[in-house]
Amino acid sequence: MFLSPIGYLACMARKAKYVLEELSHPGPHEVRRGDLALIGMPGLVYTPRAGLGLPAVAFGHGWLQPPGRYRALLRHLASWGIVVAAPATHRGPLPSHRLFAADLRTALDVCVGVRLGDGGISVDADRLGVAGHSIGGGAAVLAAADDTRVRGVATVAPAQTMPPATEAARGCAMPALHLAAENDLVAPAVGNAEAIARAWRGPVRLRTLAKATHLGVTEGVHWSQMLLQGKGEHRTQRLTRALFTAFFLDALGVSKDYRALLEEGVKGAAVAYSQGELVGA
């Protein structure tokens, strides 16, 4: 039996809904938490309890934010089999975006070059990605532009950087997923996430998180909320966890089973811009 185009889209939309529900929950792996300070860099690392040849992602925090404000997101990715390292550098009011990007690349070096846990965890150098929020998102773009190992980039409410993330995006041929916060007053979508997505050289999707604010993806309470707009939002966090997980599982060669969530409509995360085939790239 053949489905009509409308029937096919309806079927895929239903599948995307089921995938969203599945990836909103923790994955099958027990998670271990470590400290990057043990190898000379302040920050956090989350890993599955064991596994060889795992994918890894370096995550950049937002302006003034400690990595602990993304604990649930980092732990969630690890529960789905992805090693995540989050440097706690450049947290002051005048961070160096270029050096922050270098720290993200160094975090990937650590993941690849050091046996994590009790030696039962290793990372495949051909399965690396970068991600980030706010300036950490912009720094992730800078890092990807200078590191040919990076196979995927995901950002949420990315901010412009110096040098400009939009210029760096022109040299990024790997797949990317950018999430813009609809009500972001700090890094408005048009001048930040959308500009980065439209400058992207490779396949890219830009989705808009409905009613989300700049700090919607963060957790807990932090003094920076007196300076920055927004606070933690359950829906923003849930959508970000699921979309990031689906993206990196696909882009880093773990599983193709979650592609419907990347390509089809998702309530609360409408596609605002699309270029190329994001999956299978």
* Side-chain-side CA neighbours of residue 155 (13 Å): 39
Q: 7 falls in which pLDDT band (50, 70, 90)?
A: very low
Cis before 26? omega within 30: no
Residue 37, pLDDT score: 82
Above pLDDT 90, what percent of the chain?
A: 82
Q: From CA 179, how far away is CA 158, in angstroms rounded? A: 8
Does the domain at 5-275 match CATH 3.40.50.1820? Answer given as yes
Per-residue pLDDT averaged across 230-253, rounded?
A: 97
CB contact set of 63 (below 8 Å; sequence gap of 6+): 95, 134, 135, 159, 224, 228
**198: amino acid identity, one letter:** R
Residue 281, pLDDT score: 47
Q: From CA 207, how far away is CA 212, in angstroms rounded? A: 12
Secondary structure of residue 187 in the 3-state scheme? coil
- What are the beta bridge partners of residue 47? 32
- Residue 11 in this model has a pLDDT that exceeds 50: no
Q: From CA 66, how far away is CA 134, in angstroms rounded? A: 12
CB contact set of 111 (below 8 Å; sequence gap of 6+): 45, 56, 58, 83, 85, 123, 128
Q: From CA 7, how far away is CA 11, in angstroms rounded? A: 6
Q: Report which of 47, 71, 176 is spatially closest to residue 123, judged by C-alpha positions.
A: 47
Q: Which of 1-10, 47-56, 253-262, 271-280 has the lowest mean pLDDT?
A: 1-10
Every domain of the chain and the residues it spans = 5-275
Q: From CA 270, how far away is CA 145, in angstroms rounded? A: 27
pLDDT tens, 98-157? 999 999 999 999 999 887 767 689 999 999 999 999 999 999 999 999 999 999 999 999
Per-residue pLDDT averaged across 209-214, rounded?
A: 97
pTM of the model: 0.93
